[in-house]
């Protein structure tokens, strides 16, 4: 670090001596600086960014494609490498500038007798925790897509395992970072107490949703890829985070539902065990039609549709003698239209209409029978007599 500081100081001195107008001193908020003090760090970060982009392009276009098929994973690894280079370069720059333990900006925040907490100590912990959260998220994405996908076809299970591992990395890494930061945990008792009061009042809902998210991950009442109904909302689960569950509807609208609602409210999971779901298609025909013929036609329609499963086989139920029709219910099983039941019903209704037209099957209109009782004539005569008077 001292060598880096010496090199940086020599570079600044060399530029100021050879380019006088850059070495002119300026003052701002009590700090003295030259133009060189601004230009050199900016130029250094520009070069570090070029280096990061070059390494990223090399990994994406020349190296990673030989070993990894998933394009998104390749991009993630390339971006992570670039960010790592930028972080190392930025840290080296800060050290060269002189922002270290001896800097005047490193003021004491909590004056503890044995181990005081300084500004840079706290800033370093926050920075490391942010890096931990970022890289653990990227690790989860690569782990799920490149490793777990080879052993499990259930994306929901893979996402749950990946999220649990991510939380474990954050917890273990956070403990290690705090223990090695030089901060005495005893000096943070006041901060922990204030945080506890905040959770008890303002952050109660956030804590509730976080715990509910853990319950969802371990109990797995719903998982990524499931088709669920929560209240009036119907859609596919596309993400389960620490605070909320994201559902995507058939209209491609993403709805964010707090995890506590998924745990506390009634949830209908259409694909909890598997994606096989049975739907009913009601059909009515005229009274003059033969029920056996109708059953045969409806069965053929269901068996010919590629989205209807052969096992369990389709069923045709004779429901009732309706007011105007004989009512049937075609029961079909599918795993392709679990999230699009209306599409399946529409396609089957189109085909049923064509079949009925081919076989001259009559689809009835609603009708009512009116019976005129005797005595109306006498009533009419009485009316005429009354009019004549």
pLDDT in tens, 256-310: 999 988 888 888 888 887 788 899 999 999 988 999 999 999 999 999 999 999 8
Measured distance CA(53)–CA(282) in Å, rounded:
61
Region of poorest pLDDT, from 111-115, 241-245, 375-379: 375-379
Question: Is pLDDT of 375 > 60?
Answer: no
Class of domain 277-358: alpha beta
- Tell me the mean pLDDT in the region 353-369: 84
Higher pLDDT among residues 302 and 205, named by residue: 302
Beta-sheet strands, E only, within 181-293: 227-230, 233-240, 244-248, 254-258, 267-269, 277-285
What pLDDT, on a 0 to 100 scale, did the predictor assign at position 387?
A: 46
User: Which residues belong to CATH 3.30.70.100 in the chain?
Assistant: 277-358
Cis omega before residue 81 (within 30°)? no
Distances 288 to 115, 322, 325 between C-alpha atoms, Å: 94, 13, 9
Q: Give the N- to C-terminal CA distance of the chain in Å, as an integer.
A: 125
Spatial contact of 232 and 265, defined as CB atoms under 8 Å apart: no
CATH architecture of 219-269: Roll (2.30)
Helix-, strand-, coil-residue percentages of the chain, each rounded to 5: 55, 15, 25
Please tell me whether the overall predicted TM-score, pTM, comes out greater than 0.75 for this model. Answer: no
User: Which residues belong to CATH 2.30.30.60 in the chain?
Assistant: 219-269
Residue in this structure with the two tokens 């004989």, named with its chain if needed: 326
Question: Is pLDDT of 136 > 90?
Answer: no
- Tell me the mean pLDDT in the region 203-211: 81
Listed residue (80, 73, 59, 78) closest to 135, CA to CA: 80
Spatial contact of 230 and 272, defined as CB atoms under 8 Å apart: no
Per-residue pLDDT band for 30 (boundaries 50, 70, 90) equals low
Measured distance CA(315)–CA(25) in Å, rounded:
89
Spatial contact of 339 and 236, defined as CB atoms under 8 Å apart: yes
């Amino acid at each position: 670090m001292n060598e880096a500081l010496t090199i940086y100081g020599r570079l600044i001195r060399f530029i100021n001596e050879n380019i006088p107008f850059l070495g002119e001193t300026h003052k701002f908020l009590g700090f003295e600086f030259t133009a060189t003090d601004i230009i050199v760090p900016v130029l250094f970060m520009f070069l570090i960014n070029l280096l990061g982009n070059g390494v990223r392009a090399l990994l994406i276009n020349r190296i990673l494609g030989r070993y990894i098929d998933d394009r998104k994973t390749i991009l993630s690894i390339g971006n992570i490498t670039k960010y790592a280079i930028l972080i190392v370069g930025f840290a080296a720059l800060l050290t060269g500038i002189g922002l270290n333990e001896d800097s005047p900006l490193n003021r004491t925040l909590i004056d503890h007798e044995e181990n005081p907490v300084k500004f840079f100590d706290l800033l370093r912990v926050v920075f490391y925790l942010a890096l931990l959260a970022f890289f653990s998220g990227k690790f989860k994405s690569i782990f799920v897509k490149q490793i777990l996908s080879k052993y499990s076809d259930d994306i929901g299970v893979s996402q749950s395992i990946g999220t649990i591992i991510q939380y474990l990395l954050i917890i273990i890494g956070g403990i290690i970072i705090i223990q090695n930061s030089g901060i005495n945990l005893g000096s943070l008792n006041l901060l922990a107490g204030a945080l506890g009061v905040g959770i008890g009042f303002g952050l109660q809902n956030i804590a509730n949703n976080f715990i509910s998210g853990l319950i969802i991950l371990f109990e797995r009442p719903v998982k990524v890829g499931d088709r669920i109904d929560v209240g009036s909302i119907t859609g596919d689960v596309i993400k389960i985070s620490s605070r909320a569950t994201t559902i995507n509807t058939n209209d491609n609208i993403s709805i964010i539902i707090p995890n506590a609602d998924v745990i506390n409210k009634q949830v209908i999971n259409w694909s909890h065990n598997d994606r096989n779901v049975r739907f009913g298609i009601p059909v009515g025909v005229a009274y003059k039609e033969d029920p056996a013929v109708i059953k045969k036609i409806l069965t053929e329609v269901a068996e010919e549709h590629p989205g209807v499963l052969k096992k369990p086989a389709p069923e045709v139920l004779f429901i009732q003698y309706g007011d105007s029709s004989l009512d049937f219910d075609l029961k079909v099983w599918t795993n392709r239209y679990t999230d699009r039941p209306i599409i399946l019903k529409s396609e089957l209704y189109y085909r049923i209409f064509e079949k009925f037209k081919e076989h001259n099957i009559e689809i009835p209109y609603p009708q009512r029978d009116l019976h005129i009782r005797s005595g109306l004539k006498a009533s009419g005569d009485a009316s005429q007599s009354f009019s004549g008077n």
